């Protein structure tokens, strides 16, 4: 899978989860000590985030990191 597509998918999934929680980018960001802009960049797929950053985001969304990752490579090996 292409890098760009992968990152866009990740961002879209994160946004879905956040919307389901009914919180804004700013609320999510502040709950983990970050800025709205930092969270926004991930959500639009404009950056390739680090592992620990994703871990913090998952924490803010109150889901396991697994949930945030899930589905992207799902049909390639399983």
Partner DNA sequence: ATGTTGTACAACGGATATGTTGTAATTGAA
Partner DNA sequence: TTCAATTACAACATATCCGTTGTACAACAT
Q: Which residues are near its own copies by CB under 8 A?
A: 1, 3, 6-7, 10, 48-55, 58-59, 62-66, 69-70, 72-74, 76-78
Give dist(CA 51, CA 10) in Å, integer. 13
Nearest distance, CB of residue 60 and DNA, angstroms: 11
Binder of residue 5, out of its own copies, DNA, none (CB less than 5 to 8 A by kind): none
Residue 17's closest CA among 67, 51, 73?
A: 67
Cβ-based neighbours of 69, under 8 Å, separated by 6 or more: 10, 54
Among residues 10, 14, 17, 34, the one that binds DNA under rule CB under 7 A? 34
Question: Would you give the DSSP letter of residue 72?
Answer: T
Binding site for DNA (CB under 7 A): 19, 24-27, 33-38, 40-44, 46-50, 53
């Amino acid at each position: 899978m292409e890098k760009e597509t992968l990152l866009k998918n990740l961002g879209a999934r994160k946004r879905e989860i956040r919307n389901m929680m009914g919180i804004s980018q700013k609320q999510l960001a502040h709950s983990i000590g970050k800025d709205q802009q930092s969270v926004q960049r991930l959500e639009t797929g404009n950056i390739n985030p680090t592992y620990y950053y994703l871990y913090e985001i998952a924490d803010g969304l109150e889901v396991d990191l697994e949930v945030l990752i899930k589905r992207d490579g799902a049909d390639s090996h399983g």
